[in-house]
Structure 1
Amino acid sequence: MSSKKRKRETGSDPAKPTIIPGEKPATDLSKKRKREVDVELVKVYNDLADEQENVRLAAAHTLLSKIYKPGITSDEQTKTILSRLFRGLCSSRKSARLGFSIALTELLSQLASTRDTLQNISVSAIIDIFESQSAPEKGTSGQDERDHYFGRVFGAEAILKSDLLFQKGDESHFNHLLELLCSLAHKKPWLRQEFGWVLYDCIAHEHNKLPEKLAVDTLEKLIANKLIRTPEGVAIWIAVTRRFPAAKLPISAWKSGDPLARKDVNALADILKDARAQQGPQNSELSAQGSARWSANLHFAWDVVLAEVFRNAPGKGEKGINGKRPTVQGKKLTFDVFWKTVVDDSLFAESSSAERRAWGFGLWKKVFETAPREFLLYTFTPQATRRLADALKGSERLLTKSAERVTQSIQIRLADPASWPEAGTVAASYMQALLQSVSYGDFDHITKSKTLQNLIDVLSPSVLCHAKFALGQVVTELSRQEDSKATLSLQKTMVAIQWKMVSARLRRWEQAQCTSAGDLEEDDWSLVTGIFESWLREVCVAPTANKSTKTLEIRPILQPQARQFAKERLDLGFEQALKLGSLGFQVLDRVLSHIHHLETLGTVMAASFADDVREIVQTGWRKLSATARQSRETSEIEQTTSISRTGQAQMPSLSFSEAMRLLYCLLLFQIYSGETEAVQLLQEVLEYHGQWDARKSNDQLPNDKGEPADAIVEILLSFASKPSKLLRRITIQSFEAFASNLTSDGLEALCRPLETKENLLGQQQMFQAEDVDGIGSEASDADSNMDGLDSDVEIESGPASDGSDGNTDNVSGSGEESGGEEEDEELAKFDAALASALGTRSLNQDDLAAPSDTSDASSDEDMTDDQMMELDMKLAEVFRARNEQHSKNKKKDARDAKENIVNFKNRVLDLIESYFRHQQQNPLTIDLLLPLLKLARRTHTKQLADRSCNIIQQFCSRCKGPNAPELQSGSQTQHAVDVLKSLHEEAGLESSNAHSNVASLSSILIVKALVKADQANIRTVVDVYASTRMNQLTMKKCRILPGFFTDWNNWCQTAREKLAS
């Protein structure tokens, strides 16, 4: 109250100016302006801590342009702003350190430029403000203390960046700040990296005004505080030598006067991995000094050292750090020595911790991101790649993630699209090192990663070609070793890598929709065909082939098991290539023609032929060349038509010439790879091809010859019976080409396997009935001559594969041989058990040849009743065990037989489904409905039943409106009526609901076809349905479900509009 009275009294003082009503006093205006400035400052300081960079920059601009104005802002106000900025650096709120650091640096830079105009703000005063504001108070929490120490580091960085301390003639302030930082580094080792970065950045920043003397003083201060032999000290030393190469540096820091001297590389390794100083008498001034805390991120000193080592490439530069020629002891460290000692023997050492290995992986990643290309090869050391493999397959999450980043960086560098001639060498060395780290096993499988697969997917064809050649040389060299097991593992691994290369390029071709070899790069084409040809040589060339040839070394080097593995990959490669259409045919032509080329060079093949067989094979080669020319012409015409019709290239169905070309390629490949039964199939194909040519010229077939396409079905079924993706694809594609020429006889032969029982008896009937029937049937002379063709083909094998079946794929032969081996093994076990029960041993050849002098004497000895009982029990146990084993074998044989039959029937369903898809309006499609319905009802395999029903359902759904089969003659109409009646009989048998539904759909489909051919056929259809209804009402065995007639009634309602006149 007294203060208010005094204000009123003061206001009424006459000495004071009179206050006009409505006008505010001057003092009130001043206070309001002051309050407005305070509000603006609060907003600026708050925005300096904002997480958005643009907000922080705007706040700093406002502070330095509107609030602080040089020459207008008073010294006290400037000190207040400085105190507030220094204090803001000690805040952990949001991004306060970043924003306040920017504003403080700019403010100090302005003060440095106008320092002479300020009377009361000296450098020492600024240092005092910095020191007082960044010092933690006593009794503060640990977090608050850490915030203040971080603020001290950021404040020191701002002062150094402002050039405030780099004034001539006054070095005490810089030394004082340096002493504060060194003291902080000793007191808080976890801040040592930040401390070192501040000094390094100050020295390495060439745009500031740092004098040479202060840089040298920095090194001396580090030496005095025992901080020079630390990662930070090494980085700062390198920065001084690079900025001031002529500076006179202290000589007591390093033994050779240089931290990167080759002789002191071991000391550098200890320093960079941040090792603790050794305790006891071994401690010295030249050991690693102290240790900071571990961090997952690499120390910045590694970047500095790497950049300097990259400059020390052999042949680069002739002068040392101080402008002097390097002595023998002080010779500069090169990258190969650096990696071997500092990284390989230190970070990747056997005893190194997981944290140190993580640093090693981080450094490896950085090298591949920044190093010149000529240094990359030095990183693929055995120890480093072993650590990489261990980390990828290990359970340590930190190491696994670090190793994955390394592989990704290597992959990115090697996939660089820029011209890089050495990329192939680096890629080959990398692959070889990875394989060597797992003893040439499957690296991706062992490490449970896709390292090699991902690398191969991104590499260019030229790089892959170089890598393939280099790895091939490794296989050739290591295959001469005596360790057959290791050699086999190496060979199979190399084949697997080649397969990854082939599959990657074929996928790329498919994605790019390439249609011919002209669309590809030369390296791309030669890579795929070269790998295929190398596998083909291993499969088809005899192991005893002459080494002295006019061409390159073509003698097989793979062991039998690896050779069989290569053949399997060759089959898969051909199957994948055939997905490409015309381009796939070109691949097959190029690869298989390599066999013919080798024969012309006199190369000994694994399969040797008699004269008559050789004539058949040569005829096959001639036919293949002719069909190749025809298919190329047809393919060009069809591709042009397809592109003009749809706007983009589509893969059409195969033409007749392309289908024959596929068959010739397959059969010749099988013959040369040792499948002797392919000779007979080739002769049949040649015969049928001749019949086609005769019909083409005469427009008719001889009366005693059937449709060649029907006979081709039998050959295709023989392919379908084998579990091979290649045979499956060729079978389907060839069948689609011949489908339009098939007759009812051919479709009957196609459906015949569907009636086979799914057991051992059915397997014998399917795969052996033809041989049994052929014995008692009358065969023509041509057929009898073909029986001896197999004996005219001999498979040649080397000494290493005498007992192996690796060069052949004869299913029946290998099955009989393996079955015989199993029987011999069982007999041997039975003999041993029987001998044990009798108290004797099994007889051998010596026993049979030796005279039985003691047999007569021993036979006279009698056994007691107890001994006889005991012997009977033992014999009964032996025979019981054999019966149990025999029972197990029978069950296994039954399971295998069922599996074989089911697989074969699935392949037949593939062909039927293809026929439905491509011959939708063919009247013969009706003949396939009944066999499918019978299969769905009779089979005990649910998968076959479901698939049969699905095939019928999909076909019926496509045959809507005008898409129903077209019956073009009276005989076809009558046949359709007969099929309809048989189908109704099938529907009346006891079966599942699914069977009844598709039977109804099939019946309606035939009805549509009959009505489409002639509407008068509706009377016949009604009679058939009426007869079926009568059977349902009067015959117990007719079990047609109600839905059958419901579908018929629904169709009648729909068709009435068209039929009613």
Structure 2
Amino acid sequence: MPPPKHNNNPSTKKRRREPVNIDTKLVEIYEDLASENDEIRLKAAQALVSQFTPDKKPADEQIRKALQRLFRGLCSSRKAARVGFSIALTEVLAQVFGNEAVASREAGADGVSVEGVLGIWEGVSHATGSESGQEGRDHHFGRLFGAEAIIKSGILFSPKSLIAEWTKVLELVFDLAKKKPWIREECGWIVYRSVFDLSAQKADSKLVEIALASLCSNDLARTPEGVAIWVAARDRFPGINFPSKIWKHDDPLDSKERNQLAKVMKESEPAGDSEGPKVSGVWHSKLHFSWDAVVNSLNSAPEKSSKSPRLTFADFWLEVVDNGLFAAASSEERKYWGFLLFVKVLSEQDLQLASLVFTKNLVRCLTNQLAVEDRYLHRMAVKASKAIQNRVSKEPEFAAASVKGLMGTAGSVNFDQVTKTKTIEKIVSEANVDALNQVLPLFESLIASPGTSESKAASSSRQVLAGLLLSMVRARVSASDTADEGSEAVLEKILVIFARFAYFTSDEKKGAVQPPVTQQTQELFRSRINSCLNSIIAAQKHATALPYAVVRKIRDAAKSEEFGPFIIAMDDVLKDSVKGAFKALKKLSGKDQKSNQAGIDAFKLLYSMTILQVYNGDADAVSMLDELDFCYNKIFGDKKSKKGDKGEEETSEASDALVEILLSFASKPSQLFRRMSEQVFTAFAPNVTAAGLESLISILEAKESLAGQQEMFDQQDDEEGEGEDDEEDEDEDEDMMDVDSDVEIINADEEASSDEDDDEEASEEDGNEKDETDEEDAAEIAAFEAKLASALGTHRADQDLNAEESESDADMNDDEMEEVDTALVKVFRARRDALSKKKDKKDAKETMVNFKNRVLDLLEIYVKKCHSSLLALDLLLPLLRLTRRSSVKQISNKANSVLREYTKLCKGTAVPALQEEDFENVLALLKDIHAEAMHSGPPAHGSGCSQASLLVVKVLVAHDKDAVKGVVDVYGETRKAQLLSRKCHVQPGLFTDWNNWCVSASKQIKN
């Protein structure tokens, strides 16, 4: 085999590669431009731009290569490449074609021109159609971002306007928008923003005319993008020549274009001719920028020179948004846009425009979507609801427009109930005084005419409105500006609205209430008045003025029949009593005694609340008015008649009577009367006498049972008075079971004990009590069944399985059947009486527990106000006994709490001052306390006895140091009893506390 031949032809040999100079720094810069880190991208852009400043005098080839690389970067699919390269391109173009750069390069014949830049841009971003789908999209976006960079750089407008180049850019952008509808919005955005750039740079207005002409030539004028560009041009360049025969009077927002505008904005059909651009098949979840453009334009001042009036924002919203996006036949996607626009207007526009967006279709859609969680637009509806609440939080005056929109003609009174939200309730709670003054007339009209002829539906709507009015009151009394006159006036208006529908029937001559307010609804309104006053009194703001204002308004309206006939029938005696009470109120309002202002306010409150009770039909209120008159005359009567012992005696009698009145209020299971009695008692606590204090103590001593209730309320248990008492009890129960929402549930508002052992003990007691109750019920049922079997002559099947069958009822004669009927009547009557008696016992216990709770509240006030009074010592033994004896643990704990508060306040020198004649009585009290300590009781009882004992010791020793001898004897006798008597159950803590006190007090006693 011959050897291979060598090729000696030099032309066919491979060339050696010449070394290429690669600028690694520039490569890194381009790489960093595509970084996802903002800081890295900006540094890279800054580094690149610094190479093209006029002082660096970059070569044309260097500029051309950089532009080609930047335009190619815009076509990259990397996440942040377009952003970084776009920023760098914009700045490089601005540097290269700035005034200084252009002047320095004018001599060069082959210099890079704007036309050359456009050529590079067009060539690099051109999609041939042979690329893959992703590559084609990348080129389209590259062209889009390139156009934006060229326009933003300002090279087409400064230092001179380049008409041909500007026209070419527009044609390429609009051509892209036509061919690719999915990118049309972004193309329109670039041109839209260029109008503002031209205006800011004060460029030639002819450039805008060219843009509009190009827009129309590409059949894009009747698109959302076209509307936005046109509106921007009209607002920024009003004097230019607009293309004709596109919009009436050259304005898309002309009032005659509303129908066409609605079709264009919701993209319901191809714009213009059938050959025009098609609607994009891709739905965007973000709102089109054209809505912003239109809304902002409508918000600007209207043109005075326009041939035809422009659309108002209200007309635009109604026609384009409400009847367009929110039409019943509109798609969920368009309604989604509508909610986005709704939220945007609420968040960004001024109060006047934001108040106009609550239109019928929108509110209906909002209600429907909020009502059901699995609906398509539920989350958007929730977002819209929160947007309303957020706007009200920032601007409380917006509450008026919100409530009117959601509950007025476009909405529903039952909006919160239908949507299962508290939207309206939260809005009215945030409302300020001005907003409430606008809302209240609406609520009053809705109560009068709920929009339905059905009585049940009307009652439901009125109940909702009553609840919202109550929410307003509670929010107002807790607001920081509650003390001002405007807030008081609003609260008074709310109370007057309640009073109108609670105490008066509609008068056909003065505008009938349709349908008429039912008796149950009137009772509801009366209870809401009590609830409102409860909140007002609790906050101690306007606590005197508003109750007086509401009863005065009821009286005046009853005379004038302003709201119709008064529903309360009053005889002459009752009228005289009420008239006298108003005279006293008038005199009290005219008094100005700074030293006794609290007493005056307390009496005004008492009079007002008692009159209100008269209007509510309380039979006891009349006698209470008479007692109030007695107290008023004794306390505020002629001062001359009060001189001497007789005057003091009369004042004491008045104070005792006042305590009885407060107890009658406190006995009612209502927070309103509880708080009222507490406020009045606070003012008159220093005037309470021994007799008045005894009235309070007697309630603590009463048993928590039916017998205790009968004893306390002087009820008779004889057969003759049984029927009358039952009727009175029923009346009282009806009064106490008022539908008032502030009626207290026993123990519901009390703090639970923090002691876990006590909780376990209470659970055991409750369990034992429940077991006993179950056993009693089982015994009662067994006894009833035995009596029933005896009357029927039968037996239970499980008692005797072998018993013979009883004779058939058919074998009985008439007399025997009658005897059986009589026996059955007796059995069932006995059963009914037993159940009734059991219920009476339960109700009596609840009543007594509630009453003792209220009395303990009053005594807590008393010890806070009068702990330094010697009379307060009379409370020690009753509180200790109640702590030990009460079968209700909550009462026992509360009594001990009052005792602890009392002893806590009596620290240092703040102990009652003892008179010589009272020394023996106080020493006897100490012995009684030690006798009480020997009884077995809960742990709180033992500690309470120790605290009470030491308090009395402090009082005795503070009066006379030698009294310590007698005190030691008392403790010694107690120690003997502990050692020798089996009946003595004194707790060790009594002596421990005594020893500690002796150590601390020994130095003072010796000195």
Q: TM-score, normalised by structure 1?
A: 0.73
Shift of 1:302: 0.8
Compared CA separation, residues 707 and 192, structure 1 to 2 (3 A): same
Q: Is the 8 A contact 1:49 1:98 kept in 2?
A: no
Q: Is the 8 A contact 1:674 1:809 kept in 2?
A: no
Which one of 184, 195, 207 corresponds to residue 211 of structure 1?
A: 207
User: Aligned residue for 1:562?
Assistant: 521
Question: Hey, what's the Cα distance between the residues in 2 that align with 1:365 and 1:920?
Answer: 60
User: Aligned residue for 1:593?
Assistant: 552
SS at match of 1:977: helix
Residues 65-85 of structure 1 show CA distances to partners (whole Å, capped at 9, x for unaligned) of: 554336821012112332343
- 1:104 partner amino acid: L
Question: Hey, what's the Cα distance between the residues in 1 that align with 2:501 and 2:717?
Answer: 33
Residue 91 (structure 2) pairs with residue 106 (structure 1): yes
Shift of 1:468: 2.0
User: Aligned residue for 2:473?
Assistant: 502
> For structure 1, which segment, 604-613 or 711-720, has the greater mean C-alpha deviation from structure 2 after superposition?
604-613
Which one of 618, 625, 630 corresponds to residue 586 of structure 2?
A: 625
- 2:897 partner amino acid: N
Residue 644 (structure 2) pairs with residue 699 (structure 1): yes
Which one of 783, 807, 811 corresponds to residue 864 of structure 1?
A: 811
Q: Is the 8 A contact 2:313 2:353 kept in 1?
A: yes
SS at match of 2:715: helix
Question: Hey, what's the Cα distance between the residues in 2 that align with 1:924 and 1:176?
Answer: 103
Question: Hey, what's the Cα distance between the residues in 2 that align with 1:494 and 1:1027?
Answer: 68
Compared CA separation, residues 232 and 213, structure 1 to 2 (3 A): closer
- 1:543 partner amino acid: T
Matches within 5 A, 1:224-373: 229-240=222-233, 243=237, 247=241, 249=243, 251=245, 260=253, 265-275=258-268, 285=274, 289-291=278-280, 293-309=282-298, 317=304, 319=306, 325=307, 333-368=311-346
Compared CA separation, residues 237 and 437, structure 1 to 2 (3 A): closer
Identity of aligned residues (%): 33
Which one of 948, 951, 974 corresponds to residue 898 of structure 2?
A: 951
Question: Hey, what's the Cα distance between the residues in 1 that align with 2:175 and 2:208?
Answer: 23
Q: Is the 8 A contact 1:539 1:567 kept in 2?
A: yes
Compared CA separation, residues 86 and 713, structure 1 to 2 (3 A): same
SS at match of 1:658: helix
- 1:697 partner amino acid: K
Residue 1004 (structure 2) pairs with residue 1041 (structure 1): no
User: Aligned residue for 2:768?
Assistant: none
Compared CA separation, residues 812 and 874, structure 1 to 2 (3 A): same
Shift of 1:917: 1.0
SS at match of 1:934: helix
Residues 787-829 of structure 1 show CA distances to partners (whole Å, capped at 9, x for unaligned) of: 9xx99xxxxxxxxxxxxx99x98449999xxxxxxxxxxxxxx
Question: Hey, what's the Cα distance between the residues in 2 that align with 1:64 and 1:573?
Answer: 71
Question: Hey, what's the Cα distance between the residues in 2 that align with 1:407 and 1:813?
Answer: 37
Residues 496-550 of structure 1 show CA distances to partners (whole Å, capped at 9, x for unaligned) of: 3433443333333xx3483xxxxx35x444333233234334445x5377968xx
Residues 847-881 of structure 1 show CA distances to partners (whole Å, capped at 9, x for unaligned) of: xxxxxxxxxxxxxx993369999999999999999
Residue 603 (structure 2) pairs with residue 660 (structure 1): yes
User: Aligned residue for 1:155?
Assistant: 146
User: Aligned residue for 2:12?
Assistant: none
Q: Is the 8 A contact 1:101 1:158 kept in 2?
A: yes
SS at match of 1:584: coil
Residues 58-116 of structure 1 show CA distances to partners (whole Å, capped at 9, x for unaligned) of: 76566445543368210121123323433454568786644543332233234445285
- 2:529 partner amino acid: L
Q: Is the 8 A contact 1:265 1:342 kept in 2?
A: yes
User: Aligned residue for 1:680?
Assistant: 623
Shift of 1:660: 2.2
Q: Is the 8 A contact 2:942 2:990 kept in 1?
A: yes
Q: Is the 8 A contact 2:477 2:541 kept in 1?
A: no
Compared CA separation, residues 345 and 220, structure 1 to 2 (3 A): closer
Q: Is the 8 A contact 2:270 2:276 kept in 1?
A: yes
- 1:527 partner amino acid: V
Question: Hey, what's the Cα distance between the residues in 2 that align with 1:466 and 1:196?
Answer: 44
User: Aligned residue for 1:451?
Assistant: 423
User: Aligned residue for 1:756?
Assistant: 702
SS at match of 2:645: coil
Residues 527-586 of structure 1 show CA distances to partners (whole Å, capped at 9, x for unaligned) of: 33233234334445x5377968xxx99999744333323222322333333356574323
Residues 918-943 of structure 1 show CA distances to partners (whole Å, capped at 9, x for unaligned) of: 11111222221222222222223222
Q: Is the 8 A contact 2:506 2:512 kept in 1?
A: no
Compared CA separation, residues 545 and 709, structure 1 to 2 (3 A): farther
Shift of 1:623: 2.1
Which one of 379, 402, 417 corresponds to residue 383 of structure 2?
A: 402
Which one of 711, 715, 718 corresponds to residue 664 of structure 2?
A: 718
Which one of 543, 546, 561 corresponds to residue 584 of structure 1?
A: 543
Matches within 5 A, 1:541-556: 542-543=504-505
Question: Hey, what's the Cα distance between the residues in 2 that align with 1:287 and 1:764?
Answer: 94
Residues 347-373 of structure 1 show CA distances to partners (whole Å, capped at 9, x for unaligned) of: 223354554333212222344456677
- 2:441 partner amino acid: F
Matches within 5 A, 1:636-1035: 655-692=598-635, 693=637, 697-701=642-646, 707-767=653-713, 769=715, 810-811=735-736, 863-864=810-811, 894-971=841-918, 973-1035=919-981
Q: Is the 8 A contact 1:256 1:264 kept in 2?
A: no
> For structure 1, which segment, 453-462 or 380-389, has the greater mean C-alpha deviation from structure 2 after superposition?
453-462
Question: Hey, what's the Cα distance between the residues in 1 that align with 2:817 and 2:69?
Answer: 107
Q: Is the 8 A contact 2:704 2:844 kept in 1?
A: yes
For structure 1, which runs of at least 5 residues remain unmatched after alignment?
Answer: 1-30, 320-324, 417-422, 515-519, 639-653, 777-786, 792-804, 816-833, 839-860
Q: Is the 8 A contact 2:527 2:738 kept in 1?
A: no
Question: Hey, what's the Cα distance between the residues in 2 that align with 1:1050 and 1:157?
Answer: 89
Residues 4-43 of structure 1 show CA distances to partners (whole Å, capped at 9, x for unaligned) of: xxxxxxxxxxxxxxxxxxxxxxxxxxx9xx99x8648846
Residues 306-350 of structure 1 show CA distances to partners (whole Å, capped at 9, x for unaligned) of: 34455697xx6564xxxxx56xxxx86554443233222332233
User: Aligned residue for 2:118?
Assistant: 127
Shift of 1:56: 6.8
- 2:621 partner amino acid: A
User: Aligned residue for 2:577?
Assistant: 616
Compared CA separation, residues 916 and 51, structure 1 to 2 (3 A): farther
> For structure 1, which segment, 483-492 or 92-101, has the greater mean C-alpha deviation from structure 2 after superposition?
92-101
Compared CA separation, residues 88 and 602, structure 1 to 2 (3 A): closer
Q: TM-score, normalised by structure 2?
A: 0.77
Compared CA separation, residues 867 and 73, structure 1 to 2 (3 A): farther
Which one of 435, 438, 461 corresponds to residue 466 of structure 1?
A: 438
Question: Hey, what's the Cα distance between the residues in 2 that align with 1:264 and 1:882?
Answer: 83
Question: Hey, what's the Cα distance between the residues in 2 that align with 1:64 and 1:292?
Answer: 40
Question: Hey, what's the Cα distance between the residues in 1 that align with 2:528 and 2:738?
Answer: 22
SS at match of 1:713: helix
Compared CA separation, residues 197 and 70, structure 1 to 2 (3 A): farther
Question: Hey, what's the Cα distance between the residues in 1 that align with 2:76 and 2:833?
Answer: 84
SS at match of 1:989: coil
> For structure 1, which segment, 929-938 or 883-892, has the greater mean C-alpha deviation from structure 2 after superposition?
883-892
